[in-house]
Amino acid sequence: MPSVDERVAVLTRQRQPFVHATVVRAQQPTSARPGDAAVILADGSLEGFVGGHCAESTVRTAALDTLRDGSTLLLRVLPSAAGGFPEAPGARVVVNPCHSGGAIEIFLRPVLPARVVVVAGASPIAQAVRELAAFLEWEVGDSLGEATAVVVAGLGNDDDKAVRAALDAGVSPIALVASRRRGAALVDELGLSPEERARVHFPAGLDLGARTPQEIALSIMASLIGLPRVAAPALPLTAIDPVCGMTVTVGPDAVVAGDHYFCCTGCRDAHAAR
């Protein structure tokens, strides 16, 4: 089996959203140790080790929450209400009644694919956008199917073809480097529908009084900087363990019996014995 670090590298290359979980503190008798790690995928599956099944269930649920907004989280799993670790921004306390003892603190870091900008054109503005986007840790790509945004900066050289290709690929927004007059003429020539027109923005970028290619690139990237990294993944459903009351993620690793989901086999067996 690949190591967690290897899986992190592979998932990042594959542009899959996931959460990297690392145990930063553990108290006996928990089975986890500082440095233990796992990755949690968007379907709820967990690869690696961050504690026993009860702890994993808690980590899985909290990790998927971080994928919703991309925020990191310090999670503390306690066997009882004792512990004196107050909830605070960026931290969460979960009391796990099934936990075997001790406390675990796990740092959850959601990893979302980098935003991708496709730049059409060979003009100095196009090159400046590519350089600035890379500096801002955007991925400068060629595949319209992965594009977060498209910048058309051919300055009249095949701009119509580039806009049409981006529209057909479903990309939005499309930043067209053109004056209002030339941009309007181009979209009229293409015969765009109202919905398609709304996806083409010209002149590209914020009105910063930009003049040089570098300044224009800055205005364009400033207009794109608020775009999300990825659409929120379709996260799995949750259920309530009928024995301990914990929230359980419905996924491939869930402990299930009939119509009920459980945090661990102990709760499943206790429910069966009733």
CB 157 within 8 A of CB 122: yes
Which stretches in the chain have pLDDT values below 50? none
Cβ within 8 Å of residue 14, ≥6 positions away: none
Structure confidence by residue, pLDDT tens digits, 65-97: 898 878 999 998 887 655 555 566 678 887 776
Q: Is the preceding omega at residue 113 within 30 degrees of 0, hence cis?
A: no
- Check residue 88 and give its pLDDT: 65
- Check residue 216 and give its pLDDT: 98
- Check residue 98 and give its pLDDT: 61
Within a 10 A sphere around the Cβ of 249, how many other Cβ atoms? 28
Q: Which of 53, 32, 23 is nearest to 249 (CA)?
A: 53
Domains along the chain? 10-113+233-272 (no CATH), 116-224 (3.40.50.720)
- Check residue 192 and give its pLDDT: 95
- Check residue 101 and give its pLDDT: 62
- Check residue 57 and give its pLDDT: 84
- Check residue 97 and give its pLDDT: 64
Please give the order of strands across the beta sheet that includes 91-95: 46-48, 37-41, 18-26, 104-111, 73-78, 91-95
